[in-house]
Structure 1
Amino acid sequence: STSPVPASGGPGTVAGTGDVLRFTVRDSGDPAYDGTYELRCHPARGGHPAPLRACGALDRAEAEGKEPFRAVPSGAMCTMVDGGPATARVTGFWHGRAVDAEFSRHNGCEIDRWQALVPALPRVR
């Protein structure tokens, strides 16, 4: 038996039973994505612009072992390419684990990390 995960959010949130994420996206160039909204998965719903596809992208990344919310390790060798000003912060709970992740597009590693979560994060051109 596992210990319950503390609930995040308001009424209706049950400890350990939901994948509930809050996204804050800035400067993506896509007005449907810029802003703050909630995504709930299993079943997919919430204010995210594409909840079903977003949950699918997160599930795929997790299944492929990409640990979608892990930061780029310090000291990683990354190409020095700027993918634009877009940023995102994701907080909440995913698969029973607390999430507090920041995303940018400031080098090749960060861009790859971002791309692995499209369309949970917006496709940036």
Structure 2
Amino acid sequence: MNQMNDGRADAVGTLRISREVLSTIAATAASEVAGVHSLTAAPVDLKGMFSKRQLPKSVAVTLRDDIAEVELHLILNGEVKIPIVSEKVQRAVKDAIQSMTRITVSKVHVVIEGINFSAAAAAI
């Protein structure tokens, strides 16, 4: 969980924003970028399948001293330019989290897990 104070002198308490809320903001922002087909869970290695760790998620948020680092796993549409869409996703996620929460986002890592060519074929 995150604690932050917006710097107002009349503040009466603290604000806590969970990682799940930040993940939801990031997922929503990424899915609204043109060229993103869907978010997908990170792949699991065989050793990880049998451990008691949580199942992999499509968005992972790490918080250190009110600074967030985000990792997203995406499937893109087949007709897109991967570097351009990735940069747009990074910008959208960073802007959404920072504007909604005032938490600084230091990095947004985009991992392309696959390409959906069926959307490109349907457009022909």
Same fold flag (TM > 0.5): no
Please state which structure has a larger fraction of its residues in strand. 2
**Higher Cα Rg, which structure:** 2
TM-score, length of structure 2 as denominator length? 0.30
If each structure's helix is expressed as a fraction of its own residues, which one has the higher value?
Answer: 2
